[in-house]
Chain A
Amino acid sequence: MLNKASLYWLIVALLLLLSLTLSFDRNETAGVEPLNLTNHIKVEPKFLYREKDAYSALVVGELQIGFDTDNLNQDLTQYNLFSIEGLTYKADTRATLSWETSAQSHEVPLQLNNHSHTAIDFNTSEKQAIKNLRVNIIQDQTFGTEHSFQDEIKFKRMLLDHQSNFTAFRLNLNSWLAFNPLSFSAINGYTSIDNQVYESLIKRISMWLLASLLIFILIRPAKKHLMYSLMVAWLIPAVFHLNNRANQQQQIQDLFPSNSAFLNKTDQTTFELAQQLKSALATINIFPEIEQKIIIVGSNDFTNQRLVTHLNEFNTSIRSHFNDLPEQLQQQSTTLVFLNQSHAICEQADTILAKGLNKVYVDPSFCVMRPL
């Protein structure tokens, strides 16, 4: 005879198994054979070569691996899953699947893990031809400084498949274990709104937890058993979270050298521009003093904000529009630095004169003006 605790755990363990493996709202279309797209790849040979049982793709910036869909007899709209088997990728790799219908173009971010299975919907209610089906592999250099010039990505097969060929648990496990890289917006949300891979996990565990509570109330084992259930419920999402953390740690190690203050290549370039600007200012006797105001005239974007940060030893501010600047500038020891689009003002003699300014330094990247 089972005691209360054993009975409780037997039932909740079965419920856990059920909640993790149960399939909801699945379109059980039987008999859709997977379509191996690897034999239909269209790409310049120098960027893709075959090794034993895998393909190696060379990515310099971006690589588009297209598929020759015109010669395929199959109806592509029957597939709702795109799979890449044996995928090895780098920390800065991002991949998307894109295609075009007569109406519009579509793009779906692809899961990053060893066996990537991404749910797709060709969005064709009627028989529309699917054109330009391709995988875009991108070296995302917006984050980190240690990017290699060329990345080598490997994969065994690329397939169009149907979700009914896999168990719900296998597909879910794949998405829960997929790599969510760190990015500048990482602090705001663990995944983006259009890629909420954990939704199904949280729903399933929540349902199991509520069921466990119900079973607990019915069977009434010792209270500690409910606590253990809570712990199990917590640890399951935590395992996936920690798995992603481990991958993110690898990403940090790969993309950021120790003690570097630079956030990405743009930031490094901005630092170099700041150094250039400092030298230019020194030549016209403007030194880092609080009395000397410097206004960067340019958009309030990441690059210019970082430039201001790299110029913190000067008394610097940033202004998006030249016309916003007050008329009394000429009474003050203010220096204006024109960057990017605002650089064009440096050529407008009338505007410069109207504002009572004088061009004192010109560089291809910036120009410096002071009140007359």
Chain B
Amino acid sequence: MSFFIGLCLVFFLLMLGCAFRFGFSLLAQHKQPLQLDIDFVIHAFFQGILVLILMLNFVQFFTLSNQAITMLLLLMALISCMVVLIGGLKLPFKIERPDPPTLIVTALTISCSILIFIASHSLPNMAWDSWAVWEGKADQWFYHGLSSPIETWENWINGQNLLYNQSANYPDGLSLLFFTAKLATTNAFSAIHVLYLFAFTATTLLLANRIRDWEGSLFMQVFLVLVLYTTPLISNHLMIIGYADIWIGMILAMAMIAYLDCYKFKTKGALITLVGYLTLLPMFKLEGWVWLILLLLSHALLYLYKNKTSRIALGVFAVGLLLIIVLFGINIDTPFGQFKLSSEGLTVFTLIDSELSFTDVTDLLMSGFFWQNNWSLIWLGLPFLICSYLINSHSTAERVVHVFFVSAILSFLFLFYFTEASKWAVDFTAVNRVILQLTPCYVFLLFKMLTGWQGKNGSETPATP
């Protein structure tokens, strides 16, 4: 039963997303036919998640009972259906029937997800982070009302009408998805499992379709799907669900695709899709802020690097900044918290507050990356990928994605070698989970490189906005 409720939840999110996309096309009075294909559905699903989270964030300003929120969501579903219906009648469409290779890849991807569901659907929520934080917060809202603020110990003990959670400062995105499922069923966890697997299926399909668009063979697409589903730590996170890291991984991969699409099509629709994914990033985990900032910095860096004067200014700025950090340090108070960087320590808002000192975690990294078979062989491809960045020519958007990926890996290594985060390497918690957030993005870049190497790579980025 909870499986069907999970499917209903997926359908609801799809409707919200489709209504969002149709609504935008109706308002913009698009004359160009809207391409209805798998990519459209996939983006609609993730946009549905964004719309739902934003709407529930808005609802949190008002004191509404669970019944009222359920009614509101049903009303939203109804309105979405109407918008889709109106859009269906008024908008011009181009329906593309999927070709046999796409159908094979789709069938394979869905089969992999179904197998994982069958294998693990009776597992309860054993993820500590999840039952204590993500589902924990959803439970607290379910019992006390969605508008009840969840606070840290100090605020809770000194305040009134507040709820306590040990990770009150964590983002609410995943908790709100759990909360929505709880409104529909008492076995919300199984329903959420369906949502996890659908989201991963959608991400995998979009990545495989992009490989197809790059004229990658059916073999390459099937190989990509196999790699994504048989990478032990990815399939672990699809089986032992509840963690938010896999969501960041999926959203980051989608954001990367949306960024490449945005560069190619330069349409408002593509830009809104990209902004949607960038907005989703910090809604699921605090690390989302780091990836978002790195992506924006990579974008700014590459666009400044185009011009000779900017390049010189950038170089002077970088050297100056480095000198200031080494000699005096930087200490800025922002509305998000303190940003402090000096040779002694690093404080980035509420994300990290640590002294800087070297810890040799090489053995742990080697174990995590290779010897435990958590990632199978994928990290063997990293040197080849980095070399391909330097040897081959790429579009500006591709270079931004490459700079982002390299800077993300360097940030990861910096965190574990030079900050107190090294303690999380010892028990393989964060050392594996943080890198998981980059893995779908990495696997795609790896397959893009292999497809290009096979000699069928177009220079442009074909896609559907």
Distance between A137 CB and nearest chain B CB, rounded to angstroms: 24
Of the listed stretches A16-24, A107-115, A163-171, A234-242, name the one at the interface; the rest are far from the partner chain.
Answer: A234-242
**B111 close to chain A: CB less than 8 A:** no
B232 touches A187 (CB 8 A): no
> When the two chains form the complex, which single residue of A242, A260, A302, A306 contacts B122, counting CB atoms closer than 8 Å?
A260
Which residue of A has the minimal Cβ distance to B148?
A: A290
A residues in contact with B189, CB < 8 Å: 261
A202 touches B370 (CB 8 A): yes
The B interface, classified by DSSP as helix, strand, loop or mixed, is: helix
Question: With A and B bound together, what is the CA distance between A256 and B126 in angstroms?
Answer: 11
A residues in contact with B190, CB < 8 Å: 259
Digitize A298-329: 1 where CB-to-B-CB distance is under 8 Å, 0 elsewhere: 00001001101100110111110000001000
A residues in contact with B455, CB < 8 Å: 223
Of the listed stretches B192-200, B223-231, B339-347, B406-414, name the one at the interface; the rest are far from the partner chain.
Answer: B223-231
B residues in contact with A153, CB < 8 Å: none
**B187 close to chain A: CB less than 8 A:** yes
**A209 close to chain B: CB less than 8 A:** yes
Contact flag A190-B377 (CB < 8 Å), given A202-B371, A290-B163, A312-B136 = no
A227 touches B219 (CB 8 A): yes
Question: With A and B bound together, what is the CA distance between A187 and B233 in angstroms?
Answer: 7
B240 touches A186 (CB 8 A): yes
B377 touches A198 (CB 8 A): no
B139 touches A309 (CB 8 A): yes
Contact flag A187-B372 (CB < 8 Å), given A237-B377, A291-B160, A312-B139 = no
B428 touches A206 (CB 8 A): no
A187 touches B124 (CB 8 A): no
A190 touches B122 (CB 8 A): no
**A173 close to chain B: CB less than 8 A:** no
Distance between A212 CB and nearest chain B CB, rounded to angstroms: 12
**A354 close to chain B: CB less than 8 A:** no
A190 touches B372 (CB 8 A): yes
B144 touches A290 (CB 8 A): yes
A202 touches B429 (CB 8 A): no
**B220 close to chain A: CB less than 8 A:** yes
A residues in contact with B122, CB < 8 Å: 252-253, 256-260
> When the two chains form the complex, which single residue of B163, B223, B240, B377 contacts A202, counting CB atoms closer than 8 Å?
B377
Distance between B281 CB and nearest chain A CB, rounded to angstroms: 22
A residues in contact with B148, CB < 8 Å: 290
**Count the B residues whose beta carbon is within 8 Å of the partner chain — how many?**
68
**A364 close to chain B: CB less than 8 A:** no
**B62 close to chain A: CB less than 8 A:** no
B376 touches A309 (CB 8 A): no
B236 touches A186 (CB 8 A): yes
Q: Which of B206-244 contact A (CB under 8 A)?
A: 217, 219-220, 223, 226-227, 230, 232-233, 235-237, 239-240, 243
**B161 close to chain A: CB less than 8 A:** yes
Which residue of B has the minimal Cβ distance to A184?
A: B126
Among A191, A206, A290, chain B packs the most CB atoms within 10 A around the CB of A290
Contact flag A317-B153 (CB < 8 Å), given A186-B240, A187-B236, A189-B372 = yes
The A interface, classified by DSSP as helix, strand, loop or mixed, is: mixed
Which residue of B has the minimal Cβ distance to A249?
A: B119
Question: With A and B bound together, what is the CA distance between A105 and B388 in angstroms?
Answer: 53
B161 touches A202 (CB 8 A): no
Among B189, B220, B380, chain A packs the most CB atoms within 10 A around the CB of B380
Which residue of B has the minimal Cβ distance to A288?
A: B143
Digitize B422-465: 1 where CB-to-A-CB distance is under 8 Å, 0 elsewhere: 00000111001100000000000000001001110000000000
> When the two chains form the complex, which single residue of B140, B144, B364, B373 contacts A190, counting CB atoms closer than 8 Å?
B373
B120 touches A252 (CB 8 A): yes
Distance between A55 CB and nearest chain B CB, rounded to angstroms: 33
Distance between A241 CB and nearest chain B CB, rounded to angstroms: 5
Which residue of B has the minimal Cβ distance to A237?
A: B376
Distance between B447 CB and nearest chain A CB, rounded to angstroms: 10
B219 touches A224 (CB 8 A): yes
B residues in contact with A256, CB < 8 Å: 122-124
Of the listed stretches B6-14, B53-61, B127-135, name the one at the interface; the rest are far from the partner chain.
Answer: B127-135
Contact flag A223-B453 (CB < 8 Å), given A237-B376, A237-B377, A261-B124 = yes
B120 touches A238 (CB 8 A): no
Question: With A and B bound together, what is the CA distance between A309 and B121 in angstroms?
Answer: 21
B residues in contact with A309, CB < 8 Å: 131-132, 136, 139
B124 touches A263 (CB 8 A): yes
Contact flag A188-B428 (CB < 8 Å), given A257-B122, A313-B143 = yes
Distance between A211 CB and nearest chain B CB, rounded to angstroms: 13
Distance between B243 CB and nearest chain A CB, rounded to angstroms: 7
B residues in contact with A209, CB < 8 Å: 377, 380
Which residue of A has the minimal Cβ distance to B140?
A: A312
B residues in contact with A315, CB < 8 Å: 144, 163-164
Q: Which of A254-269 contact B (CB under 8 A)?
A: 256-263
The 10 closest A-B pairs by CB, nearest first: A198-B373, A317-B164, A199-B371, A312-B139, A189-B428, A188-B428, A313-B143, A238-B230, A249-B119, A196-B371
* A residues apposed to B, CB below 8 Å: 143, 182, 184-191, 193, 196, 198-199, 201-202, 205-206, 209, 223-224, 227, 230-231, 233-235, 237-238, 240-242, 245, 248-249, 252-253, 256-263, 288, 290-291, 293, 302, 305-306, 308-309, 312-313, 315-319, 326
Question: A187-B237, A188-B428, A261-B189 provided; 11 other pairs, C-beta below 8 A?
Answer: A188-B427, A190-B232, A190-B233, A190-B372, A206-B380, A223-B453, A241-B235, A249-B120, A263-B126, A290-B148, A312-B139
* B residues apposed to A, CB below 8 Å: 2, 119-128, 131-132, 136, 139-140, 143-145, 148, 153, 156-158, 160-164, 166, 187, 189-190, 217, 219-220, 223, 226-227, 230, 232-233, 235-237, 239-240, 243, 364, 367-368, 370-374, 376-377, 380, 427-429, 432-433, 450, 453-455
| A and B contact pairs by CB, cutoff 8 A, 26 listed | A184-B128, A187-B237, A190-B233, A191-B372, A193-B364, A193-B428, A198-B372, A198-B373, A209-B377, A224-B219, A227-B219, A231-B219, A234-B226, A234-B376, A238-B376, A241-B373, A245-B239, A259-B187, A260-B124, A263-B124, A263-B126, A293-B156, A293-B157, A312-B143, A315-B164, A316-B164
